[in-house]
Chains A and B, each alone.
Chain A
Amino acid sequence: MKHTISVIVENKPGVLSRVAGLFARRGFNIESLAVGTTEDPTVSRMTIVAEGDERDLEQITKQLYKLIDTLKVFDLPQSQAIERELALIKVSANEKNRSEISQIVKIFRAKVIDVAEDSMTIEISGEEGKVDSLLKMVKRFGVKEMVRGGKIAVQRGGA
């Protein structure tokens, strides 16, 4: 099962390598990773997507807590999480299909952020599935380049 794990850590040099190394040592593959500072500049938040069963998750959580720089670790179940991914997709485009691509982009509430003679670059943010669907729709035009950012997530409500 896929888990979205939030790790709140001291914002210090080397912390990312401690966390990433821990996943590698315990045999977990990190599927996606996003790191940034929080409302408190001395604290960073890492959002990590990794695959594993409940027991794996429990062990990795405990091991993360053992790192001296870790303040808090929590698993965000799908039902309680607001998750977003950002992607930039550069597709081949010409005068014939440019408007068709624009229309698809509009339906997905994405944005065209660059247009050139033979390409268009689309920016989309949303849940993983939405990004996947858009990608599927524009594939036939020819994807020249794509970059997806790590997933970020917060818990719903006031918690």
Chain B
Amino acid sequence: MDMTGAEALLESLKKEGVDIIFGYPGGVVLPLYDVLYKEKGIKHILVRHEQGAAHAADGYARATGKVGVCLATSGPGATNLITGIATAYMDSIPMVAITGQVGTSLLGRDSFQEADVTGITIPITKHNYLVKSAKDLPRIIKEAFYIARSGRPGPVVVDIPKDVFTGKLKYSYPDKIVIPSYKPNLNGHPKQISLAAKAIAAAKKPVMYVGGGAITSSAAVEVKQLAEKINCPVTTTMMGLGAFPGTHELSLGMLGMHGTAYANYAVTDCDLLIAIGARFDDRVTGHIEKFAPKANIIHIDVDPAEIGKNVRVDIPIVGDIKNVLKALIDKVSKKEKHAGWIGQIDEWKNKYPLSYKQQDGIKPQYVIEEVYKLTLGKNVVVATDVGQHQMWTAQYFKFDKPRNWISSGGLGTMGFGLPAANGAQFGRPDATVICFAGDGSIQMNIQELTTAVNNHLPIKIFVLDNCFLGMVRQWQELIYNKHYSHTNLCNNPDLVKIAEAYGAASRRVEKTEDVREALEWSLTIKDRPVFIDFVVCKEENVFPFVPPGQAINEMLID
């Protein structure tokens, strides 16, 4: 069939199962938007800043497991996607970002709105393409989606010059992928799996350390089966929250810089660390030489480059987490609870629980706990921005299922939460989608309230407003002699009025006793976003806190 490049692009997206894209029009993508005008099979969501499109596609991908798609014009449109692409890259999120480019005859001439997008995005994409001819589009789209979602997922950029959108081709969509240089290894080596089973049998103090890879691989069921079969305590990274039930008796919660004391003590003391889809990030390990110093380490990951990158590993297993765990569960024999080890952990749990002091003013942790209690057992997705509120949510909201926690881990992108919540709500229309934000980060993409209002998204935005860039202030308090250099946001605008102007249902809550009622009210609103500004204690700190460069068992507990 004869088609234009723009038509072929949309047709190919539909072949890949895409029914929604987040985008913003501009000069060189006009031919594509002209085809979108008539398009019925793909919903285009108009954002208010391209960064919002990238984060929405990312949030959609995290909440559903499908590939998120965003679209922007050339030059500034494309560069506005960059933060969103880098965010997805750091957290291995499957995304295809389509950018317009100046016509092929204008390439390399500093033309109007030209930017070298493939050059700029090399370090923050899994792969990228500059499409030189319309006839290449079907193959490239097929490859882009395959690369984005297979192996260790990640964002792929497809940069399309204007004349490629208008160019003609005989359309057919390839059935097969031929990329000789890209063959992810999905099955763990049986010998390595046997070695791991032996190490597990011999261990007296094992800990499972589970990261986002377990969620990517849809392996939550297997993680639980393994933990229960060998009676092994489980700690998760921030990215791994939900990969193992937070309320399970074997759960240690999160580890690392703001992890629970008992998770950090358990990892420091364990004799076997089973790392599953985790990458020994510096926020997890603290002082790397002092991380799990007594442990043999099993490291299961689909990306061979992760093995040995940050720590020495005794038993590496390269493969898809789900496949490897299935094989490993068959190989290990059932282990009874190791009374001494579990007893020790219970003692730590009792001695050093997560805690905060109730005092005058609203405690941010209290708001999170109330939201948790109020939504317990419901279909809830929680997105966050980055900072103190993010860490408190990671600590106090117990996620029992995967894909309900959406937060920028690797890149730590402020402004991620609201657009990601929008994307998640599009992907999961039946879920209650909550966005916790800070008064700093909410202002970084607040324009996306329009996207939520226009699409009647009933997302709940709960701002924990302490008039500070709280996390930075905490570091200034604890490490920089209370020099609150440029972290005081007391001259914020009236956020409630702003939200109201955008068309959200909006209020401010200033007393602890009003928190519950306001939250209940928020859940009754179904046709537009809710925005609640919780005025919380200004100088509350996130504890535990492992100061940078310290070992994770050397934490400040309160």
Which residues of A are in contact with B by a Cβ distance under 8 Å? 9-10, 13-14, 17-18, 21, 25, 55, 58-59, 62-63, 65-66, 68-71
Assess the A18–B308 pair: CB atoms within 8 A: no
- Closest CB of chain B to A13's CB: distance in Å? 8
Which residues of A have CB within 8 Å of B119? Answer: 17
- Check A14 against B118 for contact (C-beta < 8 Å): yes
Between A and B, how many residue pairs show CB distances below 8 Å?
Answer: 36
Q: Which of A13, A18, A25, A59 contacts B305 (CB 8 A)?
A: A59
Rounded to whole Å, the gap between the CB of A40 and the closest CB of chain B is 11
Q: Which of A10, A21, A62 contacts B123 (CB 8 A)?
A: A21
Question: Which B residues touch A65, using CB under 8 A?
Answer: 304-305
- Chain A residue with Cβ nearest B118: A14
Q: Closest Cβ of chain A: how far from B34's Cβ, in Å?
A: 29
Given known A-B contacts A66-B303, A71-B181, A25 and B126 have beta carbons under 8 A apart: no
B residues neighboring A (CB under 8 Å): 118-119, 122-123, 126-127, 130, 147, 179-182, 303-305, 307-309
Do residues B126 and A68 form an inter-chain contact, with CB atoms below 8 A?
yes
Q: Which residues of B contact A55 (CB under 8 A)?
A: 308
Q: How far is the CB of B475 from chain A (nearest CB, A)?
A: 26
| With A21-B123, A25-B123 as contacts: A68 and B308 at CB distance below 8 Å | no
Extra 17 A-B pairs, beta carbons < 8 Å, given A21-B123, A62-B304: A9-B181, A10-B180, A14-B118, A17-B122, A18-B122, A21-B122, A62-B305, A62-B309, A65-B304, A65-B305, A66-B303, A68-B126, A68-B147, A68-B179, A68-B181, A69-B181, A71-B180
Smallest CB separation, A2 vs chain B (Å): 22
* Option from B118, B123, B127, B309 in Cβ contact (under 8 Å) with A68: B127
- Interface of A, secondary structure class, is helix
A142 vs B304: C-alpha distance when bound (angstroms) = 51
CB-defined contacts of A66 to chain B, threshold 8 Å: 303, 305
Nearest residue (CB) in B for A64 is B305
Residues of A within 8 A of B309 (CB): 59, 62
- Taken together as a complex, chains A and B put the C-alpha atoms of A68 and B130 apart, in Å, by 14
- Residues of A with C-beta under 8 A to B304: 62, 65
Contact B182 A68 (CB under 8 A): yes
Residues of A within 8 A of B308 (CB): 55, 58-59
In the complex the two chains form, what is the Cα distance from A9 to B182 in whole Å? Answer: 11
**10 closest residue pairs by CB, A with B:** A62-B305, A68-B127, A71-B181, A68-B182, A62-B304, A21-B122, A63-B305, A66-B305, A70-B181, A69-B181
Note all chain B residues with C-beta closer than 8 A to A70: 181
Contacts of B179 in A (CB 8 A): 68
Task: Give A21 to B116 CA distance when docked, in angstroms.
Answer: 15
Which residues of B sit under 8 angstroms from A21, Cβ to Cβ? 122-123
Q: Which of chain A's residues have a CB closer than 8 A to the CB of B127?
A: 68
